[in-house]
């Protein structure tokens, strides 16, 4: 083997063995640097006689070219390897675009509450709230249901332990929003016009009943209010809420201890091929209970029933949501199934108001 071939073999092997860029640089300096072996060999060409130079120069040149090429392709391979290792270690690539998240949606019950509040506010009702854990005085006694009253049993009440020092009876999870009537009248006095949406609880469970559901209470007390005002208020509400010009309501005589006279209200509708239409057809669906506030309820709030009178109603919010949006099973409202929520939910920007399509 000639000296040059030996050099070529050595350097190509060294290049191959280099495992980092700095090792590779050392090989380059020792071969092609200012004092590198190949550089020195090239320098010797000048002092050779022409014949010898003619023979050696091309061999030296090709040696230089080969080693240079081997170094540069090894360098590329090392850079790739280093990047690969870095990518393995640093899996977080901050230059990647972010993953977009699915937008949440507004539950149909929340949307229904917002709509009802918008409509009643426009009629001059203000918003009131009460606690979900009530004393049995607010939930029953003050509403003309003393302890022995049979209507108490119809409420399927959930009882809750109360502070035995101050209360004779256990607390309850409120069975209706009517206790807010009492709280509002005792706090604000009369005349008064309020609505109070919220959660209520009864021990009941089937396709149209869940142990927790929503009601909206309405109360209007003044000197001259009568049943015609009640009727107009409810008809106007339904017309606006269901976005149907001709709603027909049927007032059926009924009984509630806290109203006299009392009525249950049905809305005219039709079922066609599983499609519910409000305002036409021969079916009736019950949506609320109402009546003129009983004098005993006024007395419990220190309001003089000889001077003041008015009406109250309690409407099932989930019921009217089911009717408006054609949702067949009440239980699905509270299962938190994300697919159901995506289907029936509303966009957060879809804020109900009378100027965004609610009014007729």
Residues at the interface with ligand PHE (CB under 6 A) = 176, 178, 256, 259, 289-291, 312-314
Q: What's the min distance (Å) between Cβ of 312 and ligand PHE?
A: 4
Q: What are the Cα distances from residue 126, in Å, to 88, 115, 297?
A: 62, 14, 20
Q: What's the min distance (Å) between Cβ of 288 and ligand PHE?
A: 7
Q: What's the min distance (Å) between Cβ of 143 and ligand PHE?
A: 8
Q: What's the min distance (Å) between Cβ of 197 and ligand PHE?
A: 13
Q: What's the min distance (Å) between Cβ of 264 and ligand PHE?
A: 8
**Among residues 176 and 319, whose Cβ is nearest to ligand PHE?**
176
Q: Which residue is nearest to ligand PHE (CB)?
A: 314
Q: What's the min distance (Å) between Cβ of 168 and ligand PHE?
A: 23
**Among residues 23 and 222, whose Cβ is nearest to ligand PHE?**
222
**Among residues 60 and 145, whose Cβ is nearest to ligand PHE?**
145
**Among residues 111 and 215, whose Cβ is nearest to ligand PHE?**
215
13-16 contacts: CB < 8 A, separation 24 or more? 15/67, 15/70, 15/71, 15/74, 16/70, 16/74
**Among residues 244 and 265, whose Cβ is nearest to ligand PHE?**
265
Q: What's the min distance (Å) between Cβ of 351 and ligand PHE?
A: 28
Q: What's the min distance (Å) between Cβ of 289 and ligand PHE?
A: 3
User: Which of these, 142, 112, 125, lies nearest to 196 by C-alpha position?
Assistant: 125
Which residues contact residue 236 at a Cβ distance below 8 angstroms, ignoring those fewer than 6 apart? 123
Please say whether the beta carbons of 155 and 147 come within 8 A: no
**Among residues 159 and 271, whose Cβ is nearest to ligand PHE?**
159
**Among residues 178 and 309, whose Cβ is nearest to ligand PHE?**
178
Q: Residue 49 phi/psi, 5° resolution? A: -80, 155
**Among residues 105 and 175, whose Cβ is nearest to ligand PHE?**
175
Q: What's the min distance (Å) between Cβ of 164 and ligand PHE?
A: 28
**Among residues 130 and 289, whose Cβ is nearest to ligand PHE?**
289
Please say whether the beta carbons of 181 and 219 come within 8 A: yes
Q: Which structure tokens are listed for 282?
A: 């021969």
């Amino acid at each position: 083997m000639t000296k040059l071939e030996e050099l070529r073999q050595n350097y190509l092997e060294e290049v191959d063995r280099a495992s980092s860029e700095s090792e590779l640089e050392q090989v380059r300096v020792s071969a092609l640097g200012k004092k590198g072996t190949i550089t020195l060999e090239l320098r010797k060409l000048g002092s050779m006689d022409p014949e010898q130079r003619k023979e050696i120069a091309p061999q030296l040149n090709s040696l230089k070219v080969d080693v240079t090429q081997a170094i540069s392709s090894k360098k590329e391979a090392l850079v790739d390897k280093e990047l690969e290792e870095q990518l393995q270690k640093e899996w977080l690539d901050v230059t990647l675009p972010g993953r977009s998240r699915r937008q949440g949606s507004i539950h149909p019950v929340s949307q229904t509450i917002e709509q009802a509040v918008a409509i009643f506010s426009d009629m001059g009702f203000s918003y009131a709230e009460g606690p979900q854990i009530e004393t049995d005085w607010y939930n029953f006694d003050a509403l003309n249901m003393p302890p022995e009253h049979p209507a108490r049993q119809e409420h399927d009440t959930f009882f809750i332990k109360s502070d035995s020092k101050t209360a004779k009876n256990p607390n309850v999870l409120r069975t209706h929003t009517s206790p807010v009537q009492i709280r509002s009248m005792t706090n604000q006095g009369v005349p008064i016009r309020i609505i109070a949406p919220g959660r209520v609880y009864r021990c009941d469970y089937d396709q149209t009943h869940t142990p927790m559901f929503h009601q909206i209470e309405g109360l209007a007390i003044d000197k001259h209010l009568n049943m015609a005002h009640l009727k107009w208020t409810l008809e106007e509400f339904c017309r606006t809420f269901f976005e149907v010009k001709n709603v027909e309501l049927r007032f059926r005589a009924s009984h509630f201890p806290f109203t006299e006279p009392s009525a249950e209200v049905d809305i005219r509708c039709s079922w066609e091929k599983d499609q519910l239409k409000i305002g036409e057809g021969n079916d009736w669906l019950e949506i609320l209970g109402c009546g003129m506030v009983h004098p005993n309820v006024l007395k419990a709030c220190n309001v003089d029933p000889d001077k003041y009178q008015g009406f109250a109603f309690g409407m099932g919010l989930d019921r009217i949501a089911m009717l408006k949006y054609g949702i067949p099973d009440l239980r699905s409202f509270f299962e938190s199934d994300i697919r159901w929520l995506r289907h029936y939910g509303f966009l957060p920007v879809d804020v109900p108001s009378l100027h965004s399509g609610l009014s007729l």
